[in-house]
């Protein structure tokens, strides 16, 4: 039984399939909270991503996670996406389905969700917390897409307090 990586941050998951991308991003270690890297090895990766993964798969997924972080930051990722398959069901509905095995299956699932999120304009709402010690991936549900903290009460207040103290020192 797995616990979704995003659940350890006590935040709501992104909608539809975008939560898979968010979960992969939230596998990163967070020393400030004592959270280990959930892609450290195949066992940890298998438990956190509900897949049968090896240590080699975990290594590849760490690279994918870095590429997704680059993409969210607005830079071109340093990895080529793994393919997914298009299929048509009996009613004529076209589906984008993950393909491959191990890390390639997880990667094709994630890239398919990125594509769909970009097409539905929800991709821009998946962000990383601006708190340098945090970096949690969160889905910005604000009306004007202006959120910068995964949790205003923790990361936002800390950053605002730091900024306030810096202003007072400079006066």
Distances (CA, A) of 122 to 14, 108, 119, 153, 156: 9, 19, 8, 24, 23
Q: Which two tokens stand for residue 161?
A: 């307090």
Please, which residues have CB within 8 angstroms of residue 55's CB and are 6 or more apart in sequence?
41, 42
Domains of the chain (ranges; CATH) run: 5-170 (1.10.3300)
Q: What is the pTM of this model?
A: 0.86
pLDDT in tens, 104-160: 999 999 999 999 999 999 999 999 999 888 889 999 999 999 999 888 888 877 777
pLDDT in tens, 74-110: 888 877 778 788 889 899 999 888 889 999 999 999 9
pLDDT in tens, 37-66: 999 999 999 999 999 999 999 999 999 999
């Amino acid at each position: 039984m797995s616990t979704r990586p995003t659940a350890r941050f006590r935040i709501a998951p992104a909608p539809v399939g975008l939560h898979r991308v968010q979960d992969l991003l939230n596998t990163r270690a967070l020393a400030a909270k004592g959270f280990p890297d959930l892609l450290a090895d195949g066992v940890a990766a298998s438990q956190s991503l509900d897949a049968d993964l090896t240590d080699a798969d975990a290594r590849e997924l760490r690279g994918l996670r870095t590429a997704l972080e680059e993409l969210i930051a607005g830079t071109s990722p340093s990895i080529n996406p793994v393919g997914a398959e298009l299929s048509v069901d009996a009613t004529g509905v076209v589906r984008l389905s993950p393909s491959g095995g191990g890390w390639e299956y997880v990667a094709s699932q994630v890239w398919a969700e990125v594509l769909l999120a970009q097409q539905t304009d929800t991709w821009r709402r998946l962000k990383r917390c601006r708190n340098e010690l945090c970096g949690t991936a969160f889905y910005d549900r604000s009306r004007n897409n202006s959120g910068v903290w995964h949790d205003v009460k923790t990361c936002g207040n800390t950053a605002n307090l730091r900024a306030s103290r810096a202003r007072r020192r400079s006066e």
